[in-house]
Amino acid sequence: MEQMAAAMQGFVSVLARLMLAAVFLASAIGNKIPQFKQTAEYMQAEGVPNPKLALFGAIGLLLLGGLSVVAGAWTRIGAFFLLVFLVAATYYFHDFWQFADPMQRQLQTIQFMKNMAIAGGLLSLMAFGGGPWSVDGWISRRQAEVEAEAPTAKPRVTAKPTAQA
């Protein structure tokens, strides 16, 4: 039963990482990279400072963070990269409090809340790591095996034996 639970935890952790990372990788590969100029212009219109530099940084965060999360290698750092991107994108592009039109306000509120839910998933990865079926999990298991195989150190005896009278 314990093996079944471990296998399920491994599978679910991989699935969750893939689902989270897919959003960010698709955004970079399918939109921001091929439409760099248009995306930078849109960012400028939304008030993003230095949009071309910000877009280069965003693409870097998306690719590094997304690939890290997929592989489960340096998962906590990758999730942090994605969270930084998500917070900035949410602030600049889903600022529902700026809209007077009730329909636009509702649409942007939904997008804002969706991003909050994704941020919760990223925070969970930051707190608990990539799970057992990740590079991080493998490294952790291997390290535990090596430590378990290490010979136990014998205590050093430094006191001289005393002569008995």
Residue 47, Ramachandran bin (φ over 0: left; ψ between -120 and 50: alpha; else beta): left
Query: How many domains does the chain divide into?
Result: 1
User: What's residue 154's pLDDT?
Assistant: 66
How many whole angstroms separate alpha carbon 55 and alpha carbon 57? 5
Contact 92, 48 (CB under 8 A): yes
Written as six digits, the tokens of 159 are 């006191």
User: What's residue 165's pLDDT?
Assistant: 57
Q: Is 11 inside a domain boundary?
A: yes
Residue matched to tokens 């993003």 = 48
How many whole angstroms separate alpha carbon 39 and alpha carbon 138? 38
Which range marks the domain in which residue 62 is found? Answer: 2-134
Contact 72, 132 (CB under 8 A): no
Q: Is 54 inside a domain boundary?
A: yes
Residue matched to tokens 């090596």 = 146
How many whole angstroms separate alpha carbon 109 and alpha carbon 28? 23
Q: Is 157 inside a domain boundary?
A: no
Q: Is 152 inside a domain boundary?
A: no
DSSP structure string for 117-138 = HHHHHHHHHHHH-S-SSSHHHH
Full-model pTM = 0.85
Q: Is 162 inside a domain boundary?
A: no
Contact 13, 133 (CB under 8 A): yes
User: What's residue 2's pLDDT?
Assistant: 85
Q: Is 155 inside a domain boundary?
A: no
Count of residues for the chain?
165
Tell me the pLDDT of the chain (165 aa) as tens digits: 788 888 899 999 999 999 999 999 999 999 999 999 999 999 999 999 999 999 999 999 999 999 999 999 999 999 999 999 999 999 999 999 999 999 999 999 999 999 999 999 999 999 999 999 999 999 998 998 888 887 766 666 666 666 665
User: What's residue 147's pLDDT?
Assistant: 87
